[in-house]
Amino acid sequence: MKLYVTRHGETPMNAAHRVCGLTNIDLTEKGIAQAKEAGRSLQDKGIKRIIASPLLRAQHTARLIADEIDIDTIETEQRLIEQNYGIYENTDWDGEAFNANKREFAVRYPGGESMLDLAGRLYPLLNKLKAENGPTTLLVCHGGICRMIRTYFLDVKNTDYAAFKLSNCGIMEFDL
């Protein structure tokens, strides 16, 4: 089964280079345009199913993509919600402490989740999708989620994990 994964379109916090985990905000005009363009780029990929995070920015992106690829129903999956970054929410995403924490898989962001916590909720979802062997599927989620999904398919060192950043509405393709 083909699995496509995309990050939501740009938000005001992304534009300001702020860490955005559980803050529930919508897309900027640029983010709307990015989502529409992503949808156009996915038109010939045979996607039959869209599953999205419940956060507004992912739901809005999913709807815009769905409109472009002619899909009516968007499934919502709680496990695709962005990582809880705890005390780093709404801080500078280039912050030294935030990025040091990102390189430590077993260490929780203070007040939030560790990367191991994140894998613990995402890997079972990916295992379920693999077992279903269903139609070509698109997951619409978040930067931290995309980073972790990538580790399901690739061996990634902590430093590479921390450095990886999928652009807004960037698309990854995997065989599940």
60 noted as active-site residue: no
Per-residue pLDDT, 36: 98
Angular region, 169: left φ>0, alpha ψ -120 to 50, beta rest: left
**pLDDT (tens digit, 9 = 90+) per residue, 143-162?**
999 999 999 999 999 889 99
Q: Is 81 helix (H, G, I), strand (E, B) or coil?
A: coil
142 noted as active-site residue: no
Single out the catalytic residue among 60, 82, 113, 142: 82
What are the chain's domains?
Answer: 2-175 (3.40.50.1240)
Cite the annotated binding site for substrate by residue number.
Answer: 7-14, 57, 82-85
Nearest Cα residue to 152 out of 173, 123, 172, 132: 123
Q: Tokens standing for 173? A: 């393709």
**pLDDT (tens digit, 9 = 90+) per residue, 51-74?**
999 999 999 999 999 999 999 999
Name the DSSP letter for residue 45: S
Nearest Cα residue to 139 out of 71, 87, 77: 77
Per-residue pLDDT, 86: 97
Max Cα distance, the chain (Å): 43
